[in-house]
Amino acid sequence: MTHERKYRKPPVIEALCEIFFADSHWDDAVIGQFYDRVKDRFPTKRRYEIHSAEFAFQPSSGTATAGVRQLPPRMQFVSEQGNRILQVAPDLLIVNQLPPYPHFEAWEPTIHEALSIYREIAQPRRITQIGLRYIDRIVIPTPQIDMKDYFTIYPQVPEHGHFMMRVEVPTQNAHTKIITFASVEPDSSEQKAFLLDLYDIHRSDPGIDFDRVAETIHAAHENIITVFEGSMTERLRQLFEPEDSR
């Protein structure tokens, strides 16, 4: 098992867990019932509309056409502090954690509690996919850097400007890790800023047993920690202020 370091200043700007279901019993009453169960800690209720770009291939013409399709709206329930969100929709539950990010052990129970409520009310037949995602914004307080001093992953070209790299890595435990690393605009000219987006997905056609959700999430979290720690040098790690440093 990978040792998880804890940091006083973690770079996480959002962590989220997605759970996709099949054959939920969904009607207008589900939203109200779910809200009644969580409103003491997630009092703000709001509707979230999603428009998704979609490409369709036309065999007769041999061309791809782009369109926008309307996905089912999600209902969001927001905590009093505004940093934790529950999102529900037909066959979908998402638990978001915004800054300040606590340790995983402090956030994980909310995932299982929300799943228990969703399962009781919507009665999905099975889980088809679980995704765990961490989005990190890494700021280095200097305008010029040598990438290899801070990162172990970066564009292997002599000179480069703005960049984005994306890699998919299958693992032995039937998870897929999607790693996106990109430069982003810093808040000031005296900084360099980067986005490290780590997304672990576990899919199963037969379905993921409800009794194995915790095991699946823990495996996904361990995969993400392995990539996160392996992507940086000790010099960058010190910017996040490890709690075990003396």
Is residue 202 one of the residues assigned to a domain? yes
Distance CA 229, CA 232 (A): 6
Average pLDDT over residues 226-237: 96
- The pLDDT value recorded for residue 170 is 84
pLDDT higher than 80, residue 72: no
Our count of domains for the chain comes to 1
Q: What's the pTM value of the predicted model, to 2 decimals?
A: 0.88
| Upstream peptide bond of 100 is cis (omega within 30 degrees of 0) | yes
- pLDDT tens-digit series, residues 113-126: 999 999 999 999 99
Q: Which domain range does residue 223 map to?
A: 12-50+70-240
Distance CA 82, CA 20 (A): 24
Is residue 60 one of the residues assigned to a domain? no
State the number of CA atoms in the 13 A half-sphere of 144 facing the CB.
Answer: 0
Q: What's the maximum distance between 2 C-alpha atoms anywhere in the chain?
A: 67
pLDDT higher than 50, residue 51: yes
Is residue 6 one of the residues assigned to a domain? no
Average pLDDT over residues 174-187: 94
Please give the helix or strand (H or E) that residue 22 lies within, else none. Answer: strand 12-22
Is residue 95 one of the residues assigned to a domain? yes
Reduced 3-state DSSP string for 171-220: CCCCEEEEEEEEEECCCCCCCEEEEEEEEEEEEEEEEECHHHHHHHHHHH
Is residue 37 one of the residues assigned to a domain? yes
pLDDT higher than 80, residue 71: no
Q: How much is the mean pLDDT over the chain?
A: 89
Average pLDDT over residues 72-101: 94
Is residue 227 one of the residues assigned to a domain? yes
Is residue 4 one of the residues assigned to a domain? no
Q: What is the DSSP letter of 161?
A: S
- pLDDT tens-digit series, residues 142-159: 999 999 999 998 887 666
- The pLDDT value recorded for residue 228 is 96
Is residue 112 one of the residues assigned to a domain? yes
Distance CA 127, CA 131 (A): 11
